[in-house]
Amino acid sequence: MAIPAQVRIVEVGPRDGLQNEATPVSVAARVALIEQLAGAGIRAIESGSFVSPKWVPQMASSDEVFAGINRKAGVTYSALTPNLKGFEGALAAGVDEVAVFAAASEAFSQKNINCSIDESLARFEPVMAAAQEAGIAVRGYVSCVVGCPYAGEVSPAAVLGVTDKLLAMGCYEVSLGDTTGVGTPGSVRRLLDALVPALGHQRLALHLHDTYGQALANISAGLDYGIEVIDSAVAGLGGCPYAKGASGNVATEDVVYMLNGMGIETGIDLDALVATGHWICDQLERDNQSRVGRALSGKG
Ligand code: HMG
Ligand code: MG
């Protein structure tokens, strides 16, 4: 299959990134980050989570974040919602889109959202119904698509099963999460060999954490299967609070640099993105995890 001419980047730094940062980030800084990302040309920004603040304190006040954003036309500002309570909060905050999140591993489902995979899918039913009534699109996530921090290897068949169910419930797209970044082009190809013929490539996205430094190679493998939606986080921020040792998502700067070199359009201004990555790292007083960000600013 020919690689895509364009890729849609879903920037998850303000959610997946900041949810795991030890330094508390003010609402004003979260809003500024989101506005800078939109200014750099990103058109899909996961901007917060409507989850229990006892479980993920970093995402508290996501309603205030949404209220503070000076929205840019053409940009989708989305949020994670694990249940109907979360969806109602997200709707009241004026989100454009929500995401429900399930896992391909029972052990991870219990640790992350305190219920089994089937129970999580049952909790999403009322979310899907309410979202449809409100005219809000729902994205799905499947975590642990190649490996689980608690249960080890995860079979492509398990991922196919839960992905198929999320699509059948009405998710317009499912993002395949390598939560701990253990995947390689070998395991990602085995996964896509199972999923793409069954589900098509158009409704699948890749969401890869870069713990083992494999994410760009894995994205390149995904492009060969026609995948045209990639999740990433500016400066490689974050991790997952329920996947110990998981580092951040692949850095958006690194993905855009690679795609530029492959002649694949994203509509993103790399220089503006690099500046945003350094800005948020200064706020967090942490090192920038983007190799491209460091190289382009002479900090490599
Ligand atoms: P629970 O304790 O089983 O839920 O948590 P509960 O229904 O028994 O409620 C307990 C308390 O939480 C109650 O409050 C509820 O009102 C409250 P209390 O009476 O104790 O004061 N509550 C809520 N509060 C705010 N918003 C809500 C909400 N729901 C209940 N929506 C629950 C179940 C799902 C809520 C909890 O486990 C939770 O919030 N987990 C958060 C999980 C999370 O955010 N994980 C990180 C994101 S997933 C991820 O990073 C992976 C991904 O990036 C893909 C990848 O990389 O693989 C997407
Ligand atoms: Mg993630």
**117-174 pLDDT, tens digit each:** 999 999 999 999 999 999 999 999 999 999 999 999 999 999 999 999 999 999 999 9
Which residues, other chains included, contact 229 with Cβ-Cβ below 8 Å and sequence gap of 6+? Answer: 7, 8, 10, 173, 175, 204, 205, 206
Instruction: Find the radius of gyration of the CA atoms of the chain.
Output: 17
pLDDT at 166: 98
Q: Which residue is closest in CA terms to ligand 1's atom 35?
A: 52
Which residues, other chains included, contact 230 with Cβ-Cβ below 8 Å and sequence gap of 6+? Answer: 7, 8, 9, 10, 205, 206, 219, 222, 250, 255
Catalytic residue list contains 240:
yes
Q: Is the CB of 240 under 6 A from ligand 1?
A: yes
pLDDT at 299: 67
Q: Which residue is closest in CA terms to ligand 1's atom 32?
A: 113
pLDDT at 24: 81
pLDDT at 241: 64
Low-confidence ranges of the chain (pLDDT < 70): 239-241, 243, 245, 299-300
Q: Which ligand is nearest to the CA of 233?
A: 2
pLDDT at 243: 67
**Cα–Cα dist 82/226, whole Å:** 29
pLDDT at 244: 72
Which is the catalytic residue, given 144, 148, 171, 240? 240
pLDDT at 239: 65
Q: Is the CB of 56 under 6 A from ligand 1?
A: yes
Nearest atom in ligand 1 to the alpha carbon of residue 123 is 34
Nearest atom in ligand 1 to the alpha carbon of residue 83 is 31
Q: Which residue is closest in CA terms to ligand 1's atom 25?
A: 52
Angle between helices 156-169 and 117-134 (to 10 degrees): 30
pLDDT at 300: 59
Cα–ligand 2 centroid distance for 44 (angstroms):
15
Residue with tokens 């995948």: 227
Residue with tokens 């999460």: 177
Q: Is the CB of 143 under 6 A from ligand 1?
A: yes
Global confidence as pTM: 0.97
